[in-house]
């Protein structure tokens, strides 16, 4: 039986997607400012890449790593994860051909086995862990696999931790199905509510349930485009009168080095946008000039506005994925009030653009922007005009109030 | 004292859901009247608004539910591109991509007629409508006529609430900066529950609400009967059509549903579903093929040429570059087979041909996504309410994804035909068991008696 300490009951939740590169770096800064933060976590929850991080952190803490070391290792883990998930050359064409997923899961599986251990099961983990996936076999169902029991259908399987992590990260078309399971994003890319629900239903008596409702604390991490003054500077215009953004530069090298400042990040982000258009053209043998998709600007959006706006490619994906994260946050706000907290700083590289970078086999720009964003977020004296919501100070204030008190190691 | 939440998913299966509710109301008179809180998104949101408005007017439950069926048919008509030039224009809009497929003028007119000129605050029961604000930052929106001040939207008209929650991307324009609720969640049950919790006055009130809340979700449960999802990607192709049945034409005469109805009696229905699948594909192909150089403005032909050029280039490039990869792919296939035949775990390396192009279940990923979300909401709610949550959504041969495509291609009659069939098969206790509907009729009755009607 896993331990459930007295109040508060702390749940740390990781969204899927490339945002994990930024959020684990933010956690590093929180841990540095509030030592013992990670150690206090009782329940890790994750979906897709977030599930892999959740399992990995649970495994490291079990093996005696302190919070700072575990998070430092986790940054390296996530950076390498982005690399092993990057499809090989020609994968985009394989995607279009449609016979198979873009890549196998051999590389991902090998990497996870090396880091977590081939034989490690979810049940071996001391802290509570819940991993989301969706079953594609008939009848397909969302699934939350946990290492603690409950009265409902949350299965407790003696499954290998690696296998659960692969199942949760089997994004359709990208990786093969794993044992009939697909990515947790098909259930919810933001797993915080599912994690809290799993903890709530595991309590058997009404009094214990009431205690969980009144004492649970949920820290949800993801990518929230629009969460800073630097994010979503370019959204498709609703009206034709809005000024056009800067022109895209010519195709060039991918920014991979550390970004010096906001201006450097701004020009790097524009370079990435130009490169994404160029790479899509190049890999698919196309010759699409963004100018042939003039965004005339009205509220009757077609796919040009939703998908092909060159300064925010795949905007539909951004709204869809992040609305879901914010939707879950809103539900938790309503249920838990101030005890639910959502953090997902994004600056100049939007979530959809990061996703496209990964799709085109370019994880390094994602890592560069993750590093830049987390540092800027933690900066006590940010450049004029740069604001985040929530800020580092607001986050620490919440941590002090809700996460740190009443800890029994 | 139970707090009863009735939640409607968005999508085409509201046609079946209303017929199911009529059966429940007939068996348990007073069922609808007992509802404390209606929740919905997209077509489910409009249905929630319609029912709440009619209950406010004091109309009888069965009248409301029966009238809601033609109301939703009008709604589908508003979303279905019409025949002839307008149909061509709609798909031209979709292809060119400069605007949504159709406008929302007809939808607004229909909502004015069906919902009247009132506001959310005029409704006597609690209502929560799911939508998504396309602002910066874009946010989920839950418009309720109760609760904490910041969640209340008394000032919103019923018509605008209906238009906002159903502004499906690509299909109809963004309305007042708001998008279809499905961009957040297509199944709003858990959102409604959390809104009710937020409205509780204190901690004790929240605990009491979680101990007394009861929720019925109305959605589409593909795969949860023996008649649903008989063809899935990775399985053999569906059977060849039965020539004798094809010659009789479609739609077939609806089968008589009674205790003796067997699977053989439903053969015509299955053939009709396969026919509809084919029609959906054919409609797509016809529409694409019809984009010639003769359109008035030339905009479609330019777009079509552009797309055709891209496809041609991509096709050539795929063939060229994939040749060296074939050997590797074959090796991977052998490895997969070995793993499938042997020890677990195993992989299924599906490409888009499985996820999107399988003829027995086109756009399977859409079904998985829509229904996983619905079942995800059910799972989330069950975590809090346990067995006091029930999700009902009988589906037989016409899956949710194909039904959605039917709306796009003007085959709405097929949706109604299968809605009648599915609801009848589900509501007959014998056929409900025979075809393994989950939940079945008896289970639903037992649940309703214990949880909703508080009988015994």
The secondary structure of B11-76 as a DSSP string is: STTHHHHHHHHHHHHHHSTTTGGG--EEEEETHHHHHHHHHHHHHHTT--HHHHHHHHHHHHHHHH
Range 239-278 of B in CB contact (< 8 A) with A: none
pLDDT band at B75 (very low <50, low <70, confident <90, very high): very high
DSSP-derived secondary structure letter, B427: H
Report pLDDT digits (tens) over B200-231: 999 999 999 999 999 999 999 888 899 998 88
Nearest Cβ partner for B184 among A225, A303, A324: A324
> Which of chain A's residues have a Cβ under 8 Å away from the Cβ of B322?
90, 93-94, 97
More confident residue, B263 or B337: B263
d(C-alpha A131, C-alpha A324), whole Å: 17
Say if the Cβ atoms of B350 and A197 lie within 8 Å: no
Interface test with B, best of A87, A142, A171, A388 (most B CBs within 10 A): A142
- Calculate the average pLDDT of chain A: 86
CA distance A66 to chain B (A): 32
Nearest Cβ partner for B314 among A141, A284, A324: A284
Say if the Cβ atoms of A238 and B174 lie within 8 Å: yes
- For residue A320, pLDDT beyond 80: no
- For residue B306, pLDDT beyond 90: no
Say if the Cβ atoms of B316 and A286 lie within 8 Å: no
pLDDT value at position B294?
47
pLDDT value at position B192?
93
B292 touches chain A (CB under 8 A): no
pLDDT value at position A241?
43
CA distance B220 to chain A (A): 12
d(C-alpha A170, C-alpha A48), whole Å: 7
Residue environment code for B4-25, b if the CB has 16+ CB neighbours within 10 A, otherwise e: bbbbbbbbbbbbbbbbbbbbbb
Nearest Cβ partner for A140 among B185, B318, B372: B372
Say if the Cβ atoms of B191 and A327 lie within 8 Å: yes
Closest-CA residue of chain B to A234: B136
For B116, phi then psi, to 5°, come to 75, -165
More confident residue, A78 or A286: A78
Residue environment code for A185-196, b if the CB has 16+ CB neighbours within 10 A, otherwise e: bbbbbbbbbbbb
pLDDT band at B325 (very low <50, low <70, confident <90, very high): very low
CA distance B400 to chain A (A): 13
Interface test with B, best of A45, A90, A98 (most B CBs within 10 A): A98
B207 touches chain A (CB under 8 A): yes
Q: Output the CA angle A140-A143-A149, nearest 5 degrees.
A: 140
- For residue B332, pLDDT beyond 60: no
Interface test with A, best of B347, B360, B385, B438 (most A CBs within 10 A): B347
Closest-CA residue to B183 (of B406, B385, B408, B370): B370
Q: What is the mean pLDDT of residues B326-348?
A: 51
Q: What is the mean pLDDT of residues B87-100?
A: 72
- For residue B347, pLDDT beyond 70: no
Do the strands A340-343 and A216-221 form a parallel or antiparallel pair, or are they unpaired?
Answer: parallel
Say if the Cβ atoms of B372 and A142 lie within 8 Å: yes
Range 313-342 of B in CB contact (< 8 A) with A: 313-314, 316-318, 321-322, 325, 329, 332, 336
d(C-alpha A80, C-alpha A358), whole Å: 12
Closest-CA residue to B107 (of B157, B46, B151): B46
> Which of chain B's residues have a Cβ under 8 Å away from the Cβ of A208?
none
d(C-alpha B70, C-alpha A326), whole Å: 35
- A45 bridge partner residues: A13, A130
CA distance B42 to chain A (A): 15
pLDDT value at position B315?
54
**Range with the lowest mean pLDDT among A361-365, A379-383, B79-83, B261-265?**
B79-83
- For residue B402, pLDDT beyond 50: yes
Q: What is the mean pLDDT of residues B76-80?
A: 88
CA distance A179 to chain B (A): 5
Do the strands B178-180 and B139-144 form a parallel or antiparallel pair, or are they unpaired?
Answer: unpaired
CA distance A69 to chain B (A): 32
pLDDT band at B329 (very low <50, low <70, confident <90, very high): very low
From residue B310, alpha-carbon distances to A127, A282, B285 in Å are 51, 12, 17
Say if the Cβ atoms of B383 and A214 lie within 8 Å: no
pLDDT value at position A240?
47
DSSP-derived secondary structure letter, A255: P
CA distance B451 to chain A (A): 18
Q: Please report the number of interchain residue pairs, chain A to chain B, with beta-carbon separation below 8 angstroms.
A: 249
> Which of chain B's residues have a Cβ under 8 Å away from the Cβ of A334?
151, 194-195, 197-198
pLDDT band at A287 (very low <50, low <70, confident <90, very high): low
From residue B242, alpha-carbon distances to A297, B246, B251, B253 in Å are 51, 6, 14, 16
d(C-alpha A99, C-alpha A251), whole Å: 31
Say if the Cβ atoms of A300 and B99 lie within 8 Å: yes
CA distance A25 to chain B (A): 23
Q: What is the mean pLDDT of residues A14-32?
A: 97
Range 4-23 of B in CB contact (< 8 A) with A: none
| The token pair that represents A276 in the structure block | 């994404």
B85 by Cβ neighbours in 10 Å (0-12 / 13-18 / 19+) ranks as exposed
DSSP secondary structure, B235-264, as one string: SPPPPPP-HHHHHH-SSPPPPP-STT--TG
- For residue A373, pLDDT beyond 90: yes
Nearest Cβ partner for A178 among B93, B179, B345: B345
Report pLDDT digits (tens) over A136-172: 776 778 889 898 875 444 455 557 899 999 999 999 8
CA distance A72 to chain B (A): 31
Long-range contacts of B321-324 (CB under 8 A, 24+ apart): B321/A90, B321/A93, B322/A90, B322/A93, B322/A94, B322/A97
Q: What is the mean pLDDT of residues B227-236?
A: 79
Tell me if A266 sits within 8 A of A347, measured CB to CB.
Answer: no
> Which of chain A's residues have a Cβ under 8 Å away from the Cβ of B375?
140-142
pLDDT band at A177 (very low <50, low <70, confident <90, very high): confident
Residue environment code for A72-96, b if the CB has 16+ CB neighbours within 10 A, otherwise e: bbbbebbbebbebbbbeebbbbbbb
Report pLDDT digits (tens) over A202-260: 988 889 999 999 999 999 999 998 889 998 877 776 554 444 556 778 888 998 889 99
Q: What is the mean pLDDT of residues B159-176?
A: 86
Nearest Cβ partner for A214 among B203, B224, B384: B203
Closest-CA residue of chain A to B104: A300
Q: Which residue has the tokens 């224009």?
A: B89
pLDDT band at B334 (very low <50, low <70, confident <90, very high): very low
B211 touches chain A (CB under 8 A): yes
> Which of chain A's residues have a Cβ under 8 Å away from the Cβ of B91?
none
Q: What is the mean pLDDT of residues A292-317?
A: 65
Percent of chain B with pLDDT over 70: 79
> Which of chain A's residues have a Cβ under 8 Å away from the Cβ of B100?
300-302
Percent of chain B with pLDDT over 90: 47
**Range with the lowest mean pLDDT among A58-72, B49-63, B150-164, B302-316?**
B302-316
| The token pair that represents A108 in the structure block | 């991902």
> Which of chain A's residues have a Cβ under 8 Å away from the Cβ of B203?
214
- For residue B375, pLDDT beyond 90: no
Report pLDDT digits (tens) over A331-365: 999 899 999 999 999 999 988 899 989 988 899 99
Q: Output the CA angle B4-B6-B11, nearest 5 degrees.
A: 165
Do the strands B37-41 and B347-348 form a parallel or antiparallel pair, or are they unpaired?
Answer: unpaired
Q: How far is CA B126 from the centre of its chain?
A: 23
B11: left (phi over 0), alpha (psi -120 to 50) or beta: left
pLDDT band at B120 (very low <50, low <70, confident <90, very high): very high
DSSP-derived secondary structure letter, B152: B
Closest-CA residue of chain B to A308: B97
B200 touches chain A (CB under 8 A): no
More confident residue, B148 or B10: B10
Q: How many residues does chain B have?
A: 456
- For residue A1, pLDDT beyond 70: no
- For residue A290, pLDDT beyond 90: no
d(C-alpha A199, C-alpha A392), whole Å: 28
> Which of chain B's residues have a Cβ under 8 Å away from the Cβ of A231?
137
Tell me if A324 sits within 8 A of A207, measured CB to CB.
Answer: no
pLDDT band at A5 (very low <50, low <70, confident <90, very high): very low
pLDDT value at position A136?
75
Say if the Cβ atoms of A302 and B332 lie within 8 Å: no
More confident residue, B358 or B122: B122
What are the start-end ranges of the H helices in B348-455?
352-355, 364-385, 400-408, 412-427, 429-434, 441-447
Number of Cβ within 10 Å of residue A174's Cβ equals 19
CA distance B62 to chain A (A): 32
Q: What is the mean pLDDT of residues B263-289?
A: 81
pLDDT band at B131 (very low <50, low <70, confident <90, very high): confident
Number of Cβ within 10 Å of residue B393's Cβ equals 30
* Gyration radius (Cα) of chain B, Å: 23
CA distance A276 to chain B (A): 17
pLDDT band at A292 (very low <50, low <70, confident <90, very high): very low
d(C-alpha B420, C-alpha B266), whole Å: 13
């Amino acid at each position: 039986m896993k331990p459930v300490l007295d109040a508060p009951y702390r749940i740390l939740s990781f969204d899927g997607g490339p945002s994990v590169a930024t959020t684990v770096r933010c956690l590093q800064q929180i841990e540095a400012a509030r030592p013992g933060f990670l150690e206090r976590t009782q329940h890790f929850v994750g979906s897709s890449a977030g599930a892999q991080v959740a399992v990995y952190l649970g495994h490291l803490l079990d093996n005696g790593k302190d919070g700072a070391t575990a998070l430092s290792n986790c940054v390296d883990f996530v950076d390498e994860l982005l690399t092993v998930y990057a499809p090989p050359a020609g994968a985009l064409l394989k995607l279009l051909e449609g016979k198979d997923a873009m890549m196998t899961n051999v590389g991902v599986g090998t990497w996870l086995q090396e880091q977590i251990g081939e034989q490690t099961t979810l049940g071996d983990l001391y802290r509570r862990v819940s991993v989301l996936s969706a079953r594609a076999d008939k009848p397909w169902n969302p699934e939350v696999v946990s290492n603690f029991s409950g009265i409902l259908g949350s299965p407790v399987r003696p499954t290998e931790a690696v296998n659960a992590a692969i199942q949760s990260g089997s994004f359709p078309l990208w990786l093969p199905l794993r044992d009939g399971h697909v990515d947790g994003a098909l259930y919810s890319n933001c797993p915080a509510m599912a994690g809290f629900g799993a903890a709530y239903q595991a309590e058997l008596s009404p009094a214990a349930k009431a205690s969980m409702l009144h004492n649970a604390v949920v820290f949800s991490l993801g990518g929230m485009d629009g969460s800073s003054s630097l994010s979503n500077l370019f959204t498709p215009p609703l009206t034709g009168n809005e000024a056009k953004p800067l022109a895209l530069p010519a195709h060039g090298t991918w920014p991979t080095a550390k970004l010096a400042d906001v201006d450097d990040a701004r020009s790097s982000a524009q370079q990435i946008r130009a490169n994404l258009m160029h790479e899509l053209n190049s890999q698919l043998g196309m010759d699409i000039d963004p100018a042939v998709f003039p965004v005339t600007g009205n509220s009757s959006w077609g796919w040009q506005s939703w998908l092909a706006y060159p300064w925010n490619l795949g905007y539909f994906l951004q709204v869809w994925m992040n609305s879901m994260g914010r939707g879950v946050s809103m539900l938790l706000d309503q249920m838990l009030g101030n005890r639910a907290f959502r953090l997902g700083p994004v600056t100049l590289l939007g979530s959809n653009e990061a996703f496209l970078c990964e799709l085109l086999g370019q994880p390094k720009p994602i890592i560069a922007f993750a590093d830049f964003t987390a540092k800027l977020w933690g900066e006590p004296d940010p450049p004029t005009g740069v604001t985040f919501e929530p800020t580092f100070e607001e986050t620490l204030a919440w941590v002090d109030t809700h996460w740190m008190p009443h800890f029994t190691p | 004292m139970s707090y009863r939440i009735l939640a409607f998913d968005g999508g085409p299966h509201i046609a079946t859901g209303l017929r199911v509710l009529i059966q429940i109301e007939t068996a348990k008179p007073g069922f609808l009247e007992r509802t404390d809180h209606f929740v919905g998104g997209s077509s489910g949101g409009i249905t929630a608004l319609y029912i709440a408005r009619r209950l406010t007017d004091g109309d009888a439950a069965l009248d409301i539910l029966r009238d809601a069926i033609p109301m939703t048919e009008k709604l589908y008509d508003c979303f279905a591109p019409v025949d002839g030039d307008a149909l061509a224009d709609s798909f031209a809009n979709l292809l060119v991509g400069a605007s949504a497929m159709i406008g929302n003028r007809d939808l607004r007119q229909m909502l004015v007629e069906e919902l009247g000129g009132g506001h959310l605050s005029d409704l006597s029961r609690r209502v929560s409508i799911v939508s998504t604000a396309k602002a910066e930052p874009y946010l989920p929106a839950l418009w309720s006529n109760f609760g904490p001040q910041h969640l209340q939207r008394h000032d919103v008209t019923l018509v605008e609430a209906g238009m906002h929650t159903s502004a499906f991307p690509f299909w109809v324009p963004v309305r007042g900066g708001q998008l279809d609720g499905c961009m957040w969640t297509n199944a709003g049950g858990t959102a409604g529950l959390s809104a009710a919790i937020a409205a509780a006055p204190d901690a004790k009130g929240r605990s009491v609400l979680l101990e007394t809340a009861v929720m019925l979700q109305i959605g589409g449960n593909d795969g949860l009967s023996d008649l649903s999802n008989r063809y899935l990607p990775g399985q053999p192709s569906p059977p060849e059509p039965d020539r004798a049945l094809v010659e009789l034409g479609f739609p077939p005469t609806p089968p008589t549903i009674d205790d003796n109805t067997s699977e053989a009696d439903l053969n015509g229905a299955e053939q009709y579903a396969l026919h509809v699948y084919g029609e959906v594909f054919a409609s797509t192909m016809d529409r694409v093929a019809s984009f010639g150089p003769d359109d008035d403005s030339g905009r479609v032909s330019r777009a079509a040429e552009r797309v055709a050029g891209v496809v041609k280039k991509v096709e050539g490039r795929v063939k060229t570059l994939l040749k060296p990869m074939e050997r590797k792919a074959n090796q991977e296939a052998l490895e997969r087979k070995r793993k499938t035949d042997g020890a677990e775990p195993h992989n299924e390396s599906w490409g888009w041909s499985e996820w999107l192009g399988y003829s027995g279940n086109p756009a399977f990923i859409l079904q998985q996504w829509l229904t996983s979300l619905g079942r995800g909401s059910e799972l989330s709610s069950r975590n809090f309410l346990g067995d006091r949550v029930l999700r009902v959504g009988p589906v037989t041969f016409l899956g949710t994804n194909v039904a959605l495509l039917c709306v796009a291609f003007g085959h709405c009659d097929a949706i109604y035909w299968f809605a009648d069939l599915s609801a009848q098969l589900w509501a007959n206790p014998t056929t409900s068991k025979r075809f393994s509907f989950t939940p079945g009729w008896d289970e639903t009755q037992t649940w309703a008696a214990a949880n909703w009607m508080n009988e015994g």
